[in-house]
Structure 1
Amino acid sequence: MMADTIVAADIRINARWVIPIEPAGVVLEHQAVLIQGDRIAAVVDQQQADRQFRAKETLDLNRHVVLPGLINMHGHAAMSLFRGMADDLPLMTWLNDHIWPAEGRYVDEAFIRDGTRLAIAEMLRTGTTTFSDMYFYPEVAAEVAHDTGIRAQICFPLLDFPTMWASGPEEYLRKGAALIERWQGDGYIMPGIGPHAPYTVSDGPLRETLALAVDKQVPIQIHLHETAFEVSEALEKSGHRPTQRLADLGLLTPTTQCVHMTQIDDSDIRLLQASGAHVVHCPESNLKLASGQCPVDQLQRAGVNVAIGTDGAASNNDLDLFGEVKSAALLAKVVAGDAAALSAHEALAMATISGARALGRADELGTLEAGKLADLIAVDLSDPFLQPVYDPASHLVYSSHSRQVSHSWINGVPQVQDGRLTRIDVPDLMLRVQAWAERIRDKNHG
């Protein structure tokens, strides 16, 4: 760029610190992030920005760190309306005796609309700019996300048995194909297929899942190796571990996202390596349900891409990805027996570029680089109890609270300004949530 060439930009953000994620482990100081339209135009020294850019709007964030928006790679958004409803129970008891009956009683389009909006409000407020969802009435969740302007991978559910959304595999797949048709190619909504788990989906529907995924070029996200019981039951019934079964069916590919993976051995890791499949780690849900521990450090050393997710608010009980990143970093050290495992920078990468890789969108998301989509957040580190700040990456993972997210942009559009949501009517949403809470409380305790 010529020194005397002035370039127009829409937004200039002057940041005390910038963590671009790539190059890895870098913290830049006194940088300007320039946004033009829906893209990042440049990340340059503020003095260089003075010489080369003229912006319509300038934001001075002199106490803040700016980084890419976080990517929450697994959740069930509308389950936020079940937050705290059935705590301190093992997974299968939680599912069979509480969650599945409650879903049958309450989940409809209105539940999905209000529950998804509540989840999106929480995620935006705590730094997430892209999320992955696997739940009923995915067409409603997709509309809510699109209307709000948040990116979302929407995986339609698939199970052997009927639910409120479909009567069986044939209807799940037919409705799912319509979802893909509606949203494929959209900038915000990324449709995908969400077969629930190997123990709830038989071989026939899994083969049809693969055929649809290949035909439409969409990803598959599946709960896999979540508990020791799941693995032992599969071995008892078929003689094969669930990962081996999926590999034999052809379902492990570079567009497959394997959620949980708490019970894995060397053979599972070899299958992940060979296939290029991704792992989505949900540390807090796995801890709370006592499901097990994903060996993140071992997987990363084997070259497996590990992204991160919160799971649903019914088993977490929040959708705060910064909290999840902290839990992941701490847990990885204990599991590996190594205090150097999953450093602060590596943990932040899990929540950004690793998620982008799992989505197949690493060329557009996950780092702060010129030409990428303008999905970014700012976190205020001026709180007295965050002082002194020697290393902002360390603070983001180990010290700060996600409510210090002060600003958020998706596609260059402000979503959070000075801690306030710009696209969601919070008072109206709270009235709706309260109505659901009263209805669920009355039926459960009446």
Structure 2
Amino acid sequence: MLPVDLLVAPRWLVPIEPAGAVLEHHALIVDAGRIVACAPLDMALSQYQPRQRLDLPHHAVLPGFVNAHTHAAMSLLRGIADDLPLMDWLRDHIWPAEGAHVSPPFCADGVRLAFAEMIRSGTTCVNDMYFFPDTTARVAVEVGLRVTVGLIALDFPTAWARDADEYLHKGLELHDAFKHTPLVRTIFAPHAPYTVSDAPLLKIRKYANELGIGIHMHVHETAGEVAMAVEATGKRPWQRLRDLELLGPDFIAVHMTQLSDEEIAQAAEYGVHVVHCPESNLKLASGFAPVGRLLKAGVNVALGTDGAASNNDLDLLGEMRSAALLAKAVAGDPQTLPAARALQMATLDGARALGLEHEIGSLTAGKSADFIAIDLSAAPTQPVYNVLSQLVYAASREQVTDVWVAGRALMRDRMLLTLDETAALSRAAEWRQKIKP
């Protein structure tokens, strides 16, 4: 028998690949942080000798969720300003609070609070866009969460940098510092078309090509943003980005609520990835991403929570449910986004957006052992007729019991193992007193 580190025996195994598959009485075999096999349990027990066995008789085991767009440190601004339009929310509340308080300690404490919430919600990979990304990367390494950190860029000064050149300089330094760190990736993160001018965007495209890393940007978030750009330049933001040659298979466009048929066709043509943040868009009344039309055109659509200041949670299970329901309502078709595809958006499609589909996103031999377990024995998810439907339409984050990244347990039986949650909550309370005494 072949010695291995871990054998996981759940009631149901949901590998994501092949699409819609649910395996019963199967085992997940893990060794040296990677998936060795998904095999029938009897066969696995006859071929492998695990050093640890994890029996989960009431659980579904599936790939960890990929939060393809968030601002983790903004968890410390959760609820500071609600029920406002996007630009009022940003200019009158968020930007002033950030100007007064954002610092490396703020980001470290905010990220720890966010990571505690995300792990408890089944997220194993985070694509983050915020200031002091070096701090976010260090906390991710400390906690053991997989992260893609945004090399933020803006035209105006913040606590992180004075101007566009300094943002790019610091970003390149961060990329070099973490390029050999296993769980950390980098991605250029120009904030939005209305906050970054042409010259820095052209430099970002040049560096992205040279380094082989992607670009992550808010695009067409609101009708007002698009109208403002047309009035100022005569171009919709999408057209400007296309003219600057930013669009391509390494480009992640976040929100995308305002799209013409031509723009959707171009997104497919260029291989652009879209990150849908349904709950943030709903709360800010930003509009509805045309998910059904994007999928029909062949565009890869992933899911993100956005930040806790505009959502106000970091729960991919909730986001997945909202995305599935909203897509049906917008399209007027209950088949627009079925459960299996919504689950794929939260896992494999998020991995594809980040260029990590060969590493994570499905329970496939050779991939990293990033997986979660969800207990379906509770009243809200009984009886189980269709596992995928229960996961998307009924399960809550309180039912996530186990979270593993690269074969390492971050949470076992609902207990966080790599993060001091009590300390994170204490620091959050201290920040609340500083920010709004």
User: TM-score scaled by structure 1?
Assistant: 0.97
Letter in 1 for 2:416: L
User: After the TM superposition, which residues 37-436 of structure 1 pair with which residues of structure 2 at under 5 Å, given as runs?
Assistant: 37-436=32-431
Structure 1 residue 441 displacement after superposition: 2.0
Query: How far apart, CA to CA, are the structure 1 residues paired with 2:316 and 2:400?
Result: 12
Unpaired runs of 5+ in structure 2? none
Letter in 1 for 2:287: G
Letter in 1 for 2:75: S
Correspondence for 1:26 among 18, 21, 25: 21
Letter in 1 for 2:92: D
Unpaired runs of 5+ in structure 1? 1-5
Structure 1 residue 185 displacement after superposition: 3.6
SS in 1 for 2:4: strand
Query: How far apart, CA to CA, are the structure 2 residues paired with 1:224 and 1:424?
Result: 34
Letter in 2 for 1:119: A
Letter in 1 for 2:375: D
Structure 1 residue 186 displacement after superposition: 2.5
Query: How far apart, CA to CA, are the structure 2 residues paired with 1:286 and 1:364?
Result: 30
Structure 1 residue 403 displacement after superposition: 1.3
Contact 1:260 1:286 in 2 (8 A): yes
Query: How far apart, CA to CA, are the structure 2 residues paired with 1:351 and 1:384?
Result: 24
Contact 1:247 1:271 in 2 (8 A): no
SS in 2 for 1:74: strand
Query: How far apart, CA to CA, are the structure 2 residues paired with 1:24 and 1:199?
Result: 38
Structure 1 residue 134 displacement after superposition: 0.5
Query: How far apart, CA to CA, are the structure 1 residues paired with 2:299 and 2:234?
Result: 25
Query: How far apart, CA to CA, are the structure 2 residues paired with 1:277 and 1:384?
Result: 41
Contact 1:126 1:322 in 2 (8 A): yes
SS in 1 for 2:249: coil
SS in 2 for 1:73: strand
SS in 2 for 1:161: coil
Query: How far apart, CA to CA, are the structure 2 residues paired with 1:303 and 1:51?
Result: 42
Runs of 4+ in 1 over 3 A off after TM superposition: none
Query: How far apart, CA to CA, are the structure 1 residues paired with 2:98 and 2:89?
Result: 12
Structure 1 residues 270 and 385, CA gap change in structure 2 (3 angstroms)? closer
Query: How far apart, CA to CA, are the structure 2 residues paired with 1:411 and 1:318?
Result: 25
Identical counterparts, % of pairs: 52
Contact 1:356 1:365 in 2 (8 A): yes
Query: How far apart, CA to CA, are the structure 1 residues paired with 2:104 and 2:349?
Result: 32
What value does the CA root-mean-square deviation take over the aligned residues? 0.8
Letter in 2 for 1:109: P
Structure 1 residue 310 displacement after superposition: 0.1
User: TM-score scaled by structure 2?
Assistant: 0.99
Instruction: State the Cα deviation string for residues 108-166 of structure 1 (Å, max 9, x = none).
Output: 11000000011011101110000011000111111001111111010021111111111
Aligned residues: 437
Aligned residue in 2 for 1:439: 434
Contact 1:11 1:56 in 2 (8 A): yes
Instruction: State the Cα deviation string for residues 255-305 of structure 1 (Å, max 9, x = none).
Output: 110000000011211221121110000000000000000011110110100
Query: How far apart, CA to CA, are the structure 1 residues paired with 2:206 and 2:380?
Result: 54
Letter in 1 for 2:251: T
Letter in 2 for 1:318: D
Letter in 2 for 1:30: H
Query: How far apart, CA to CA, are the structure 2 residues paired with 1:274 and 1:392?
Result: 35
Contact 1:243 1:271 in 2 (8 A): no
Aligned residue in 1 for 2:6: 11
Letter in 1 for 2:88: T
Query: How far apart, CA to CA, are the structure 1 residues paired with 2:49 and 2:276?
Result: 42
Query: How far apart, CA to CA, are the structure 1 residues paired with 2:430 and 2:57?
Result: 41
Aligned residue in 2 for 1:3: none
Query: How far apart, CA to CA, are the structure 2 residues paired with 1:385 and 1:345?
Result: 19
Query: How far apart, CA to CA, are the structure 2 residues paired with 1:182 and 1:114?
Result: 22
Query: How far apart, CA to CA, are the structure 1 residues paired with 2:122 and 2:269?
Result: 33
